[in-house]
Amino acid sequence: MAGLKENMQSNMRKWIGLIAAVFLYYLIHEGCHFAVAMGYGAFEKVRIMVQGVQVVVKKELLTDLQMAIFCAVGSAGTLFTAYMLVFFSVRITKSKNKVMKAVCYYTTLVLLLLDPLYLTIIYQFVGGGDMNGILLLNIPEKVVQLFFGMVTAANGFLIARKIYPLYQQSFRE
């Protein structure tokens, strides 16, 4: 019976961690877009769609460079936050609060992988999104894809070699 209870608690922590990670992803990614849109005075609205949340700007008020910055800042914000979570992962995993550790673990995974994967391949299937703005910098699309493909691979290696083993050991203790 104790094993069943621990298994249920573990599953609950995983779901809480995953749901919190998705919420935090949108808060950080779209929050960065929102901050830049407000700074440029071009914020129009927040749109909630089936595939997620989107900050909409008045494009006619932005130069190509400003639009590129607006589009790139969401991914920059998520990656910066992810690397901060990686930097503090040893401290985080020493916590006795398993729910907080689960939230940090799943948030780290989502932030390390989602935007790089999106900017490598997924964007092609959902209309382009942030990639459309990044391309306004006149960087070839294949170069952007290659760069974010390398980021995805490096982050996958970081997860496999550091994050997963560290958190796995932490949850065993």
* For the ranges 8-17, 33-42, 49-58, the one whose mean pLDDT is highest: 33-42
Per-residue pLDDT reduced to its tens digit, 126-159: 888 999 999 999 999 999 999 999 999 999 999 9
Residue 38 token pair = 């407000």
So what's the pLDDT on residue 34?
Answer: 97
Does residue 31 have a pLDDT over 90?
yes
Domain count, the chain: 1
Q: What is the pTM of this model?
A: 0.93
Tell me the residue range of the domain where 47 lies: 2-172
Question: What does the pLDDT read at residue 6?
Answer: 80
The confidence score (pLDDT) of residue 1 equals 62
Q: What is 31-77 written as a DSSP string?
A: HHHHHHHHHHT-EEEEEEETTEEEEEE-GGGS-HHHHHHHHHHHHHH
